[in-house]
Amino acid sequence: MKVIVDRNKCVASGQCVLTTPEVFDQDEEDGIVVLLTETPPEHLAGSVRQAAALCPARAIWVEEQEEKE
């Protein structure tokens, strides 16, 4: 899984931070999303997907990556 954020689309609602604070934070000045890790651990995958779904600005994308054998 790879997480992508578009800081230009972000409206600083903070839903991502509330959902997965291990992956998302907010800039102290304007509240815009800050991505803490582009490739979160597998146990956070469900929360990251939920954060993307809850984002009112659709500023978060999740790219599923194929597992390497």
Full set of structural domains in the chain with CATH: 2-63 (3.30.70.20)
Residue 33: pLDDT band (50, 70, 90) is very high
DSSP annotation of 15 reads H
Predicted confidence (pLDDT) at residue 68 exceeds the cutoff of 70: no
The average pLDDT across 8-30 equals 97
- The sign of the dihedral angle between the CA atoms of 65, 56, 58, 10 is negative
**Residue-level length of the chain:** 69
The pLDDT of residue 65: 80
Residue 45: pLDDT band (50, 70, 90) is very high
Predicted confidence (pLDDT) at residue 63 exceeds the cutoff of 90: yes
Residue 66: pLDDT band (50, 70, 90) is confident
Using CA atoms, how far apart are residues 14 and 60, in angstroms rounded to an integer?
12
